[in-house]
């Protein structure tokens, strides 16, 4: 398990390094979308919720979180802040009021996340990534300008089938 996580972390670091050098195929520069780029919006909203809290997207889709609330939030990888869930091991991004954060997910699986500040208030979310197209996904997406925080590749560990069956995950 640890070696798989370490291997995944190394692959992500390599993807980020290549993407920041301009050579990464999955990296996109802020301010522009390529033809057919898919973006799904999630809001960090008043009431300490992610809206929608669960989205299902096809691999290669960019998920954009925007903080529309008056208070700061975070996008933190992991199912919870419990040490066993490795919170923030791969993504722990501050999201001040009005800020955006984007992540392009290329591997099928479940990608849980939460707000470090408001997890106890139920501010948690889940992105389910499928290997193929998602029915009705085009209604959720559009070609919109990116403003900041673009990350290449997968930055949150997918949960395995065994982990999904464990209570509290």
CA-CA distance, 19 to 26, in Å (whole number)?
A: 7
Q: What CA–CA distances, in Å, run from 120 to 97, 117, 142?
A: 20, 8, 33
Q: What domains sit in the chain, N to C, each tagged with a CATH number?
A: 37-165 (2.60.40.420)
The share of the chain scoring above pLDDT 90, in percent, equals: 54
More reliable by pLDDT, 94 or 22? 94
Question: Poorest-confidence range of 21-25, 26-30, 54-58, 65-69?
Answer: 21-25
- What's the whole-number mean pLDDT along residues 70-94? 94
- What's the whole-number mean pLDDT along residues 76-90? 92
Indicate left, alpha or beta for 48 from its phi (over 0: left) and psi (-120 to 50: alpha).
left
- Model pLDDT for residues 50-71, shown as the tens digit of each residue: 999 999 999 999 999 999 999 9
């Amino acid at each position: 398990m640890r070696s798989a996580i370490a291997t995944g972390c190394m692959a992500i670091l390599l993807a980020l390094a290549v993407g920041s050098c301009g050579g990464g195929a999955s990296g996109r520069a802020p301010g522009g979308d390529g033809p057919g780029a898919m973006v799904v919006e999630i809001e960090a909203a008043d009431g300490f919720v992610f809206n929608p809290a669960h989205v299902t997207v096809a691999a290669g889709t960019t998920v954009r979180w925007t903080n529309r609330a008056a208070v700061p939030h975070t996008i933190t990888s992991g199912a919870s802040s419990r040490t066993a869930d490795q919170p923030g091991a791969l993504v722990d991004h501050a999201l001040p009021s009005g800020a955006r954060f984007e992540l392009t997910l290329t591997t099928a699986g479940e990608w849980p996340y939460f707000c470090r500040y408001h997890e106890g208030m139920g501010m948690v979310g889940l992105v389910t990534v499928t290997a193929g197209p998602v029915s009705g996904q085009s209604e959720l997406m559009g070609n919109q300008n990116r403003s900041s925080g673009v990350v290449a590749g997968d930055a949150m560990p997918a949960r395995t089938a065994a982990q999904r069956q464990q209570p509290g995950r």
